[in-house]
Structure 1
Amino acid sequence: MPEERDVVAGFYGATQAADAAAILALLHPEFEAHTAPGLPCGAGGTFHGPHETLARVWGAVFIEYDTAPYAETWHETADGLVVVTGHYRGTARATGRAYEAEFVHLWRVTDGKISWLHQYTDTARWQDALAAA
């Protein structure tokens, strides 16, 4: 399963570089994302397809935050699920407030592309960064 891990690792590099084209290149045409309810910017929920997810999740978040996910632990299951834990780190653009929020990402890779993501994160930390001091 090293190939799955390499594909997923490419996602973290692409988001840290804020490289939308690289993110899209990693996603399967039938990509599906389940993001944490309560994420700001309307970014929480279920999204279908690379372009919808880029616009409504990552694009929406990048408008409000200078942020990226940083992977810390990696686990692979026998059936190919890649489980990554780590922290989002960044700053809310409107307030200048820094934040750090823990995450767990569950990934599936199909035909060498990321086909599925389920994200868990501490959305209160995200919201707090947007709140006026």
Structure 2
Amino acid sequence: MATNREIIEAHYAASARGDLDGMLADFADDMSWTEMAGFPYAGTYVGLDEIREQVFGRLGADWDGFDATPEQVIDGGDGNVVTLGRYTGTYRATGKSMTVRFAHFWQVRDGRIVRFEQVTDSHLVRQAMQ
């Protein structure tokens, strides 16, 4: 069985390949995904369909080359994993690019990802959108 850290690393590896099904493969059916207040897609999305459409679908439609690149993945124990990294991408409507630091907080239970929460500088993201 994969470690919690390996499960989260597999999510980012699938993202780098553009493999949405692989990104969702270890998500629990009732997974909770929270984009922070101030972020363009702010809110909490529950379940695979809602996450697929409201998060990844919107990012894919609005951004060229949107990527979340992990730089450090830290297993905090008790199913908690933190990833520090950078978002990059170009907003299609403006042609402006961004590079923004993020912290992702994950919770894994019994080999399934049950919760995600994002923290980032939403101001820099919104600057690319204006």
Structure-1-length-normalised TM-score: 0.88
Q: Secondary structure at the match of 1:90?
A: strand
The AA in structure 2 aligned to 1:69 is A
Q: Secondary structure at the match of 2:123?
A: helix
Residue 76 (structure 2) pairs with residue 63 (structure 1): no
Task: Provide the residue aligned with 2:85 in structure 1.
Answer: 86
Q: Return the alpha-carbon distance in structure 1 between the equivalents of residues 18 and 36 of structure 2.
A: 21
Contact 1:44 1:57 in 2 (8 A): no
Contact 1:35 1:44 in 2 (8 A): yes
Q: Deviations over 1:53-106 (max 9, x none)?
A: 111012111111121111112222232210111110111112221101110001
Task: Provide the residue aligned with 2:110 in structure 1.
Answer: 111
Q: Return the alpha-carbon distance in structure 1 between the equivalents of residues 47 and 117 of structure 2.
A: 14
Q: Return the alpha-carbon distance in structure 2 between the equivalents of residues 128 and 121 of structure 1.
A: 13
Residue 95 (structure 2) pairs with residue 96 (structure 1): yes
The AA in structure 1 aligned to 2:43 is G
The AA in structure 1 aligned to 2:86 is H
The AA in structure 1 aligned to 2:60 is F
Q: Deviations over 1:14-52 (max 9, x none)?
A: 222232211221211120011111222xx2111111110
Contact 1:30 1:49 in 2 (8 A): yes
Q: Secondary structure at the match of 2:9?
A: helix
Q: Return the alpha-carbon distance in structure 2 between the equivalents of residues 111 and 60 of structure 1.
A: 29
Q: CA deviation at 1:107?
A: 0.5
Structure-2-length-normalised TM-score: 0.90
Count, aligned residues: 129
Q: Return the alpha-carbon distance in structure 2 between the equivalents of residues 14 and 93 of structure 1.
A: 23
More strand by share: 2
Unaligned runs of 5+ in 2: none
Q: Return the alpha-carbon distance in structure 2 between the equivalents of residues 114 and 79 of structure 1.
A: 13
Percent identical across equivalent pairs?
30
Task: Provide the residue aligned with 1:33 in structure 2.
Answer: 33
Unaligned runs of 5+ in 1: none
Runs of 4+ in 1 over 3 A off after TM superposition: none
